[in-house]
Amino acid sequence: MPNPLEELTVDQLRQRTSLKWSAHPADVLPLWVAEMDVRLAEPVAVALKEAIDAGDTGYPAGTAYAEALAGFAARRWGWGDLAVERTAIVPDVMLGAVEALRLVTDPGDAVVVSSPVYAPFYAFITHDGRRVVEAPLGADLRIDLDVLATTFAEARAGGRRAAYLLCNPHNPTGRVHTADELAAVAALARQYGVRVVADEIHAPLVLPGARFTPYLTVPGAEDAFALTSASKGWNLAGLKAALLIAGPDAMPDLARLPEEVSHGPSHLAIIAHTAALRAGEPWLDALLAGLDVNRRLLADLLAEHLPQVRHVPAEGTYLAWLDCRALGIEEDVDDGLAVVSDLAGPARHFLDRARVALSSGHVFGTGGAGHVRLNFATSAAVLTEAVRRMGAAV
């Protein structure tokens, strides 16, 4: 199977109307939002074409998506008892996370996050009337269990309910939490009475050398929720559909999920996600091999062109977290808020001077300033040219 990251030219990518390639002028190389520069995997494209040819565009029905996930989880992660009856179809991962948080917290309650973390966590939690409380990652970018314990205690002050929105694997750092780390998280959550909602959208994207542990397979996680979809693994963000999975002790909570939540995802999206999980593994394996090549290429390019930038290669995801603080670029941020749109410091500098679009670190919360997130799900040629330009701009 050819490397999916090497099948499209820049000219073809510029024809796209989705966010990544359309948000900036034509002289900008976009390595920002989490879209991949790939064609649709063949089994997904075939399933969608068949549905369109058959006019099969009505309302979704049945449990094929959850069954496909259960099969994938068993083959891929040895998760043999993902119970289809403990799943619900939700419009997408973020709306599913909001619904799960509604089941286990009340308005005004705290939702703990490990910053720096996927920026929309802040917006979605706040929009739903909950408070974000940060438990920053350690200097090694791994979960700091002492900080998490203190934050859980604070979150539960006054006997209020509280939840932890875990990102597993972690965006933007690309860390894949180990089974031991997750077991320690579960023990703390039990000790403090905090409910865990695990966002596992990047789970299929674990690179050679790391192993994904589904949070619900960890001892002590029986009352938790997990969310996943084929969206990141197979680049289906434009075909929204996700699955919310309850641990056995969270089943009474899942039973309170309003029925109308499952009206959100579209039938075509469910067909696409189901096909990816059922028959998309050869494509995924080719993608992971390509991402592994790019991960090494990026490390070499950074060493050559930007030796001051600190970077620990990602264990999972296609996101690289670059510590640019040694470049001494002024962080034009006031009280944690970007003065200029959602770009600050290094990301603003690289867009203006290198014509490379990256995600600005400060939007990921405490610990993010002075960093950029680079999306390496692109061709070797684009990646090489982008880092060369970035190096020339400092």
Ligand X SMILES: Cc1ncc(COP(=O)(O)O)c(C=O)c1O
Residues that bind ligand X (CB under 6 A): 34, 92-94, 118, 167, 171, 199, 201, 229, 231, 237, 240, 242
- Which residues touch 200 (CB under 8 Å, ≥6 apart)? 168, 169, 212, 214, 215, 226, 227, 228
Q: How far is the CB of 240 from ligand X (least distance, A)?
A: 6
Choose between 239 and 386: whose C-beta lies nearer to ligand X.
239
Q: Read off the tokens for 313.
A: 């290669």
Give one DSSP letter per residue of 225-271, joined into a string. EEEE-STTTTT-TTS--EEEEE-GGGHHHHTTS-GGGGGSS-HHHHH
Nearest distance from C-beta of residue 275 to ligand X, angstroms: 17
Smaller CB separation from ligand X, 192 or 225 = 225
* Under 8 Å between Cβ of 119 and 364: yes
Q: What is the rounded CA–CA span in Å between residue 32 and residue 21? A: 10
Angstrom distance (rounded) from CA 213 to CA 294: 24
Q: Which is nearer to ligand X, 201 or 338 (CB)?
A: 201
Shortest distance (Å) from residue 321 CB to ligand X: 13
Cβ proximity to ligand X: between 102 and 240 the closer is 240
Backbone angles phi, psi at 233, to 5 degrees: -60, -35
Task: Between 232 and 295, name the residue whose CB sits nearer to ligand X.
Answer: 232
Rounded Cα distance, 7 and 22, in Å: 19
Nearer residue to ligand X within complex by CB, 229 or 360: 229
DSSP label at residue 335: T
Dihedral, 90, 91, 92, 98 alpha carbons, nearest 10: -70
Shorter beta-carbon distance to ligand X: residue 93 or 125 = 93
DSSP state string for 128-189: TTPEEEE----TTSS--HHHHHHHHHHHTGGG--EEEEEESSPTTT-----HHHHHHHHHHH
